[in-house]
Amino acid sequence: MNDLANSKMSADSPPLRIDFNTPELQRKRRIRALKDRLTRWYVLVGGLAVLAAITLIFFYLAYVVLPLFQGAQLTQKPALAPSWLQQDAGKPLMIALEEQNLVGMRVADQGQVLFFDTKTGNALKRVDLPLPPGTQVVSISADQPGSPLVVLGLSNGQALVFHHTYKVTYPDNQKTITPGLDYPYGQAPFVLDDQARALEHVSVNVNGDTLMLAGSTGAHLQVVELSRSENMMTGEVSTEQRRIELPQMTEAVKNIFIDPRQQWLYVINGRATADVFSLRDKSLNGRYRLTDSADTEITATAPLVGGISLIIGDSKGRLAQWFMARDPDGEQRFKQIRTFQMGKSPIVQIDAEERRKGFIALDSAGQLGVFHSTAHRTLLVEPVAEGPGVLAFSPRANRIIIEQGGKLLPLSLRNPHPEVSFSALWGKVWYENYDEPKYVWQSTASNTDFEPKLSLSPLTYGTLKAAFYAMILAAPLAIAAAIYTAYFMAPGMRRKVKPVIELMEAMPTVILGFFAGLFLAPYLEGHLPGVFSLFLIMPLGILLVGFGWSRLPESIRLRVPDGWEAAILIPVILAIGWFALSVSPWLESALFGGDMRLWITETLGLRYDQRNALVVGIAMGFAVIPNIYSIAEDAVFSVPRSLTLGSLALGATPWQTLTRVVILTASPGIFSALMIGMGRAVGETMIVLMATGNTPVMELNIFEGMRTLAANVAVEMPESEVGGSHYRVLFLAALVLLMFTFVMNTLAELIRQRLRKKYSSL
């Protein structure tokens, strides 16, 4: 009776309700919502900050690089009409500017040198040259650009040599430049023509203690060599003069140039031909046609800085660079390297820069052109005068003065980066003293005659080469290890193996590079047969051990827990490695005559460097493996277990399930792992810096080194001049590396999305 009453009461009582709107729960919900909003904003702001930082880096690099591709700027200043030009100043033969662009020098045919102020045109100093009585100046020439040595050809067959000097002093803290002339070989002229005929053309060159003079009268050549020597005991200086007899010309000479090494004599003659004489053999090297058409005449010629190249201008406004280079048969020949087209009017004067391989040219119509030979770049062509004139180019290549029509026309030139062009950066360039066009990176040298070689092609090639060999080692090992760990390995063993492999990523790359350069490189050089036999024996040994294990009785195999079989390979791998490296000396003696490195060089024709791509591949592959392994293992392990079990339930074998379900489903993650590993290899700096030898060569040979973009920036940035061409080209290398990584990652993401969409239905 009581039970019935109790049951009736419970049925009539209201149901038990839980209040989810208590103050405590409301506070928790508010806190959780606040945390969600903060986290969402934190992730959003952080992601946008990363994108903004990358964008700013890109624009900053572009900002530094952009001036490389801007042309020259020419500013014309008011013309000067000094009083001495209105008088009988004589015909100008030569105008030159000193380093500070404050003082100019003018040499006239009357044998007078006048120094003038370039800002006002006022005369500063007049010097009468010590010419023999009754003689006049017929011709004039200077040594190679940058040298203050000048030679005058006189009407009596003699030549006078002098220096123009500019002494800088600071009286009363005021900068004062005092111009003057020196006669390092005496004030007495040298006799070139014994018959006292006028020297229509002259040339001079100094190489050490040897002065060489060349002159021409009509079709006759005269070459004199003056050697100076000093007695070590008494200090007495003695001179020896020797005449060099050369085969005589058949056509009138138009210009003469002496090679700075005093090996060649270039003689421009006829309308458009050049005879090249060997001063060492005293023979004619050859006669060369300088133009393509018979109606074209050579009108101006000048050497570039260093004196190796000649710039030859013709009557149709074309300029061509020529220098000596070897033919395939090993003979030196005078070759046309590149051409420039300035206009249609004849070129009247060419003047070269003193520190770079640039030059300017003036034509008969008064147009001025600015060019750079190595970059094959026409930077500027502008009209500056009403006709031809006499041109002067400052040593700093920023000031030009033209004497024309009784006036001085001063011009200001801004041309900071002429040596950079697309062809110079990425194409083959024919450099001076090279026998053919090549890809070369050589940014600095010890003198100003150097021709900068700024090709990014060998650096880009080296970057891809290092990444290629690193990925050959890292990709198969990392992907195979990731698949085995995630799919076959026991959970207990996986919890031990995966953290150990990921811990490899904590190893500083500078330590890896140090180890690779100081230990691994010489060790591989001494054990080459063992290393290559290891690559062959190790896979075969693992397969044989696996096959043998599968043939053992189940009573033995079942003693090893499922998923722990990989532990058996540890002693096998160690034993195979020890065996392969131990038999290396015997293999080297039996197969390679005791020296595999020498055999590679002589038999295979491959150059062997101790620090090479093989060393980089092993060291960088070791650094890249953890990245690829970790991401790929997570991708494989994240494949839904239901897919694996469903495939096995339908009768598929574990290998069929792995290849047709698991790998396809995880392919987006595996591909991302490979691309991230590739990006890491491309951007690696310290390992390639310490283990490659940093040789910028374009060879796929695994036994040669390379230089990468990242390593080149790290090596050369500290020594580059801020704002200079070298500095900006290094920034361009960084921009190329950034763009390459960006494009590669973008393509990787597009491919990954396609793979995810394609296999999402599995």
What pLDDT shows up at residue 652? Answer: 86
In degrees, to the nearest 5, what angle opens at C-alpha 497 toward C-alphas 494 and 503? 135
Residue type, 173: N
The encoded tokens of residue 555 equal 């009573």
Nearest to 569 by CA among 541, 537, 550, 536: 541
- The DSSP symbol for 237 reads E
The DSSP code sequence of 387-453 is S--EEEE-TTSSEEEEEETTEEEEEEEE-S-TT--HHHHHS-B--TT-SS-B--EE---SSTT---E
What pLDDT shows up at residue 71? Answer: 85
Give the mean pLDDT of the chain: 88
Spatial separation of the C-alpha atoms in residues 757 and 717, rounded to whole Å = 45
- Per-residue pLDDT, averaged over 597-619, amounts to 89
- Specify the higher pLDDT residue, 595 or 87: 595
What pLDDT shows up at residue 11? Answer: 53
| pLDDT surpasses 90 at 203 | yes
| pLDDT surpasses 90 at 334 | yes
Nearest to 634 by CA among 665, 597, 680: 665
What pLDDT shows up at residue 740? Answer: 87
Strand partners, 359: 352, 371
The encoded tokens of residue 663 equal 């790998």
What are the pLDDT digits (tens) for 522-547?
999 888 999 889 888 998 988 898 88
The encoded tokens of residue 746 equal 């973008």
The DSSP code sequence of 545-579 is HHHHHHTS-HHHHTTSPTT-GGGGHHHHHHHHHHH
- CB contact at 8 A, 636 and 486: yes
| pLDDT surpasses 60 at 320 | yes
Nearest to 211 by CA among 198, 196, 197, 192: 192
- Contact partners, residue 654, CB within 8 Å, separation at least 6: 488, 648
The alpha carbons of the chain give a radius of gyration, in whole angstroms, of 39
Tally helices (H) and strands (E) across the chain: 20, 31
The DSSP code sequence of 274-328 is EEEEETTTTEEEEEEE--SSTT--EEEEEEPTTSS-EEEEETTSEEEEEEEEE-T
| pLDDT surpasses 80 at 647 | yes
What pLDDT shows up at residue 329? Answer: 85
**Phi, psi for residue 257 in degrees, rounded to 5:** -140, 140
- Sheet of 103-108: strand order equals 92-97, 103-108, 112-117, 123-128
| pLDDT surpasses 90 at 437 | yes
| pLDDT surpasses 90 at 84 | no
- CB contact at 8 A, 612 and 540: no
What pLDDT shows up at residue 114? Answer: 93
- Contact partners, residue 690, CB within 8 Å, separation at least 6: 510, 513, 514, 516, 517
- What b/e sequence results for 170-180 when a residue is b if at least 16 CB atoms lie within 10 Å of its CB, and e otherwise? eeeeeeebebe
| pLDDT surpasses 90 at 23 | no
| pLDDT surpasses 90 at 756 | no
| pLDDT surpasses 80 at 36 | yes
What pLDDT shows up at residue 30? Answer: 86
| pLDDT surpasses 90 at 179 | yes
- CA atoms within a 13 Å half-sphere pointing along the CA-CB vector of 188: 2
The encoded tokens of residue 38 equal 């903060």
| pLDDT surpasses 60 at 2 | no
Nearest to 425 by CA among 736, 46, 155: 736
Alpha-carbon torsion (131, 136, 138, 139), positive or negative: positive
- Per-residue pLDDT, averaged over 542-563, amounts to 84
Percent of the chain at pLDDT above 90? 46
Spatial separation of the C-alpha atoms in residues 308 and 286, rounded to whole Å = 17
- Contact partners, residue 225, CB within 8 Å, separation at least 6: 210, 211, 212, 213, 241, 242, 243, 244, 262
**For the purposes of burial, counting CB atoms within 10 Å of the CB of 393, is it exposed (0-12), middle (13-18) or buried (19 or more)?**
buried
Residue type, 401: I
| pLDDT surpasses 60 at 3 | no
Q: How far is CA 111 from the centre of its chain?
A: 48
What are the pLDDT digits (tens) for 116-144?
999 999 999 999 999 998 899 999 999 98
What pLDDT shows up at residue 315? Answer: 93
- CB contact at 8 A, 635 and 673: yes
What domains, with CATH codes, occur in the chain? 78-416 (2.130.10.10), 466-759 (1.10.3720.10)
**Residue bearing tokens 């490695």:** 577
- CB contact at 8 A, 574 and 536: no
| pLDDT surpasses 60 at 641 | yes
Spatial separation of the C-alpha atoms in residues 705 and 608, rounded to whole Å = 9
What are the pLDDT digits (tens) for 267-314?
998 888 999 999 988 899 999 999 888 889 999 999 999 889 999 999
**Phi, psi for residue 632 in degrees, rounded to 5:** -65, -40
- Contact partners, residue 482, CB within 8 Å, separation at least 6: 628, 629, 630, 632, 633, 635, 636, 670, 673
| pLDDT surpasses 80 at 10 | no
